[in-house]
Amino acid sequence: MFVKTVRKRNKYSPKIFEYQHLVESLRTEKGSRQRFLLNLGKLTLPREEWPLLAKRIEEILHGQERFFAGNPEIERLATHYAQKLIRKYETEYSESKQYESVDLDSLENERIRPVGAEYVSLSYFKKLEIDKCLSECGFSKRQMEVATLLIIGRMVSPGSERHTHQWAQNLSALDELLGTDFSSLSLNTLYKMCDKLLENKDVIEKHLREKEHDLFGLDEKIILYDLTNTFLEGQAASNPKAKFGRSKEKRSDCRLLTLGLVIDGNGFPKTSKVFAGNQSEPKALLEMMVHLHFS
């Protein structure tokens, strides 16, 4: 629905009169047409508020309530015109209500799982075209689904691969959003997918840098760099980067891994790199700058 101005001239006078009509657009076999609904007379409401009036009339006709109070004048006019429309098109806007009795004790809930945070995360996942990047990296359809689970799982419910596995199978409806099923997904599949994502880390980070720069108009005048480390409970004998060093978590009895991260002034990550556990910041800075420049 929208408000349209109609101009009429009296044949006995050169004066032109303006009126407002409420109309709606319809698609017909002969193309788009406008259907007259109601003569609103001469509206005193400012022209920029006409769309709000038309929208509120339509909401009232469909029984939609508002959470917050709007413009009192718009509410008054919308209620008035909606009532006139209901009287004029009684069969069209008057809904016949039907009622059924329901035994509340008979209601059952099955697999109640949240979907809100997953939906928002998946929307931006697609907006950043991460799925397209993974496809270009050679991921199959199933591999892309598992990779999506790992990435969104880190955003919605951060934890280990084991935690993500339990979250996907018992707590989240992400599989329904993806049109797949994670009920038979093995934990080993998640571990293998983490390795595959790490193999393509540089390509994925470069893709994200470019997409985020375009989407958010990042000026990137300020670049920040920092190191942190994490400890390994086991011996990590087969990991050449696992070294003893100064632990920021006071676990110098364990071998460490060091993570270097570059971000811009807005907090967007630019690149990352895993170093040996005894890596110092001054020696890593130049390497990170070269890595960022050529990646």
pLDDT of residue 126: 94
pLDDT of residue 291: 66
**Would residue 18 count as lying in a domain?**
yes
**Would residue 259 count as lying in a domain?**
yes
Final residue belonging to a domain, choices 60, 93, 126:
93
**Would residue 38 count as lying in a domain?**
yes
Note the helical H segments in 137-200.
141-156, 161-170, 174-178, 187-199
Instruction: Tell me: do 235 and 266 sit in the same domain.
Output: yes
pLDDT of residue 150: 96
3-state class (DSSP) for residue 240: coil
Instruction: Tell me: do 272 and 239 sit in the same domain.
Output: yes
Domain that holds residue 53: 2-93
Residue position matching structure tokens 């293998």: 192
Q: Which percentage of the chain shows pLDDT scores above 90?
A: 33
Instruction: Tell me: do 189 and 126 sit in the same domain.
Output: yes
- What is the count of structural domains for the chain? 3
pLDDT of residue 262: 86
Instruction: Give, to the nearest 10 degrees, the angle between helix 50-61 and helix 72-88.
Output: 50
pLDDT of residue 157: 94
**Would residue 253 count as lying in a domain?**
yes
Instruction: Tell me: do 69 and 149 sit in the same domain.
Output: no
**Would residue 78 count as lying in a domain?**
yes
pLDDT of residue 228: 87
**Would residue 208 count as lying in a domain?**
no
3-state class (DSSP) for residue 140: coil
Instruction: Tell me: do 254 and 284 sit in the same domain.
Output: yes
Q: Which residues of the chain have pLDDT under 70?
A: 90-99, 110, 291-295
Vertex 21, ends 18 and 25: CA angle to 5°? 135
Closest CA to 257 of 235, 237, 279, 272: 279
Beta-ladder partners of 39: 21
**Would residue 110 count as lying in a domain?**
no
Give the dihedral of Cα atoms 19, 22, 28, 33; nearest 10 deg: 30
Cβ(221)–Cβ(237) below 8 Å: no
| Total count of residues recorded for the chain | 295
Final residue belonging to a domain, choices 59, 93, 127:
93
Those residues whose C-beta lies under 8 Å from the C-beta of residue 45, and which sit 6 or more positions away, are 53, 73, 74, 77
